[in-house]
Structure 1
Amino acid sequence: MKITYSIIAPIYNEIDNLPELYRRVKEVMDSSGEPWELILVDDGSTDGSTDGIRALAEKDKTVRPVIFARNFGHQVAITAGWDYARGDAVVIIDADLQDPPEVILKLAKKWKEGYEVVYAVRGEREGETWFKKFTAAMFYRIIYSITDVKIPVDTGDFRLMDRKVVNVLKQMKERHRFPRGMSAWVGFKQIGVTYKRAARVAGVTKYPFKKMLRLALNAITGFSYFPLQVATYFGFISAGMSILAIPVVAILRLAGSHFFEGQTTTLVSVLFLGGVQLISLGILGEYIGRLYDEAKGRPLYIVRDAPEDQ
C-alpha cells in the first residue's frame, strides 16, 4: 500500500508520553482518510520506552519501530526517520506533545497547495520560563544573522517535507547535524504556518542549556565561516592596536613619561594577545575536529531492530 504521510517522532525516555502521542497522532491521521505510518525512533531509552514502542507496534501495524543500539542524539534520530520513512509527505514531530499533532493537517493543507517544505512557526510558547524563551529567541536570531543560509526564526524541527526534499536530505551524511538548517539549505518551495506551542505533557526537557549551546555550535559551524572570520578580525584588531601603540609609547618615552614603565603593561599585553591566540586556536580546532569526525567515515547510527520493508 502506498503511504501518504510518514510521521517521525524521536523518542528518548518518553514512556509517560507514548500512549498520548500515539492516541492523538492516530486520531488526527485517521481523520485525514489517507494512509499513514508513525515511525518511532528509540534513541537509546532507559526508562522502558523501548518496550512501550514495541508494544504499540504489536498492537498497530501503522507504528514502525526503529530501535537504536545506543543513544546517538535527537538530530541523528530524525535522520534515521528519514531513512525509514515511506510516505509522500514526511512530518517531524516531538514526542513530548509540545508540537500538537492536530497542526499536522494544517501543514498538509499547505503541502497540497504545492509547497514542498512547510515549517511550523512558534507564535506562542506555553509552560516555558522567561530564560528559556529569551535564550531561544536569541538563538534563532543569531543563527539567522550569521549563517550563510537564512533559517526561519522561531522554528524547530516540527515540519512537513515532500518526498523529493527528503530524498535530497538523505544524501547529506554529515555527522554534526542541524536538520532545520539542512531543510532550509536544500531550497524548494517553502512556507511557514504559525501555531501555539503547548507545554510538555509529562517528563523533563531533553534540551537543557548545554545541549542548546551544542546545537547552536553545530548550526554555526555547519552553515557559516563566521567564527573563522571573527578570529581574523581579532588578529587585525590586535595588530592594529600594536602598530598604533608604537609611536604613542615612543613619544611618551621621549617626553619623559613613566606611564609605560614596569611589568604591568607588558603582562596585560601578553595576556591579551595570548587570549586572542587561544580563542583562534579553539575555533580552528572545532572545525578541524569536525573534519576528523567526517574523515573516519563511521555510520551515523547503529540499529538494533527496525522494520524490514525500508
Structure 2
Amino acid sequence: MLLEKQSVYLSVVVPVYNEEACLEDLYARLTAVCDGLGKPYEIIFTNDGSKDNSAEILDALHKRRPQQIRVIHFNGNFGQHMAIMAAFERVRGEIIVNMDADMQNPPEEIPKLLAEYEKGYDYVGSYRKERDDSFILRSLPSLILNKIRGAVTDIHIKDQGCMFRAYSRRVVDLITQCDESSTFVTALGYKFAANPTEIGVEHQARLQGDSKYDVYKLVRVTFDLFTGFSMAPLQVFTLFGFVVSALSGCLVAYLLMRRFIFGPEAEGLFTLFAISFFLISVAITGIGIVGEYVGRIYEVVRRRPRFLIRQVVEVSQDEATSPSSAMKEQQHVS
C-alpha cells in the first residue's frame, strides 16, 4: 500500500466520471449516513478524467471536510475498475465500501452491508432486488450476461454488475497486489475472500445525469471477466476442434465411398460450401478469442502504468487524526 494505514473504521470509495449533477446530493446523503455511524470514516472520490465540472466540485467538497474527503484526480479516463483500484491503494479503513456515484444503490443501504460484515464475513456483495431500469436496454442484457459469466467462470456472484459491496482490509490488500491492466474488482474480491456472502439491496432509477454503461460496455466487461478468470473459452474451442475434426474425417470417408460406388456427383456442392463457410467463421471466432488472451499478455509484458494520477487532494495523515482537526470538523458540522 502507498500510505501508512491509520485507525479508520470505514472507507467509502466512489469512482466518478462526468457526475456533476449527482455529486452535491451524494455528498449530503453519504456524509449523513457516515456521521450516523458514530465512528471514524473517510470518503475517497476518484475522478476518472471527467470532462464536466466534477473535478471542481470534488475539490470544493474536500474543502468542506478536509479530514474526511479525499480526492484522486486521474490524468485521463482509465475506467471504473482502475478508479477503484487507485482508491483501494490509499484506503485507511478497516472496512472498505465501494459504491457508484449515481446513487442507484442508495447510500442509506451502507449500514446493511456493515451489519452483515460484523457477523464475520470478509466480503459482503449485493444484488439489486428490484431494478428500476429499462428492461430491454439494461436489465435484460445484464441478466443474460450474468448467466453466461456464471456458467463460464467459477465466480458465483448473483449480480456481477452491482458494484455496491463491502470488503475487509485483508481482501482489499490482496486485490491491490494484482497488477493486471484489465481486471474485475468484484470478482477478485470474491476469489480472495475466505467467507463471502451476498444480500439484497434497494435499487433506484437515476435521478440526475445519464448512465455511462451501454450494451457494448457490458459485453466488454464480460470479455474481461472471461479472459481474466477462466480458460473455458479456449478449452471449449479446443474440444470443438477435436469434434469437428472427427466429423470432418467421417464426412471425407463417406464422400470417398460414394464416389467409388456411384461415381462423380455434383449434388451437395452448396451444402459443402455452407459447411466450409460455417467452419471458417468458427475458426475466425476462435482466433479472436485467442487474440483476447494474447492481447492481455501483451499489455502485461509492456508494463505500462495502469492509470496515471494527476493529483491527490487530501490532508496529511497526522492532520486527519489530530484532536484539533477533529474539533475543527465538529465546529464546522455544527
Query: What TM bracket, shorter-length normalisation?
Result: over 0.9
Show the counterpart of 1:298. Answer: 304
Please state whether the residue corresponding to 1:185 is helix, strand or coil: helix
1:255-285 deviation digits (Å, cap 9, x = unpaired): 4276555853553343233223222221111
Which residue of 96, 99, 123 corresponds with 1:117?
Answer: 123
List structure 1 segments (4+ residues) > 6 angstroms apart after TM superposition. Answer: none
CA RMSD of aligned residues (A): 1.8
CA contact (8 A) 2:109 2:202 kept: no
1:68-104 deviation digits (Å, cap 9, x = unpaired): 0110001100101101211110000000000111111
Gaps of 5+ in 1: none
Distance in 2 (CA, whole Å) between partners of 1:269 and 1:158 is 47
Gaps of 5+ in 2: 1-5, 318-334
1:73-112 to structure 2, matched below 5 A, reads 73-112=79-118
The percent identity for this pair of structures is: 32
Show the counterpart of 2:257. Answer: 251
The alpha carbon displacement at 1:308 in A equals: 6.5
1:205 has 2:183 as partner = no
The alpha carbon displacement at 1:247 in A equals: 2.9
Show the counterpart of 1:140. Answer: 146
1:168-203 deviation digits (Å, cap 9, x = unpaired): 111011111111110111131111111121111211
Please state whether the residue corresponding to 1:9 is helix, strand or coil: strand
Moved more, 87-96 or 119-128: 119-128
Please state whether the residue corresponding to 2:70 is helix, strand or coil: strand
Moved more, 230-239 or 280-289: 230-239
Show the counterpart of 1:182. Answer: 188
Show the counterpart of 2:14. Answer: 9
Please state whether the residue corresponding to 2:163 is helix, strand or coil: strand
Please state whether the residue corresponding to 1:157 is helix, strand or coil: coil
Distance in 1 (CA, whole Å) between partners of 2:202 and 2:37 is 21
Matched pairs, number: 309
Please state whether the residue corresponding to 2:124 is helix, strand or coil: strand
- TM-score w.r.t. structure 2 length? 0.88
Which residue of 62, 67, 70 corresponds with 2:73?
Answer: 67
CA contact (8 A) 1:40 1:64 kept: yes
Show the counterpart of 1:285. Answer: 291
CA contact (8 A) 2:137 2:215 kept: no
Please state whether the residue corresponding to 2:125 is helix, strand or coil: strand
| Shift in CA distance, 240/30, structure 1 to aligned 2, threshold 3 Å | same
Moved more, 233-242 or 184-193: 233-242
Please state whether the residue corresponding to 1:88 is helix, strand or coil: strand
Distance in 1 (CA, whole Å) between partners of 2:79 and 2:296 is 16
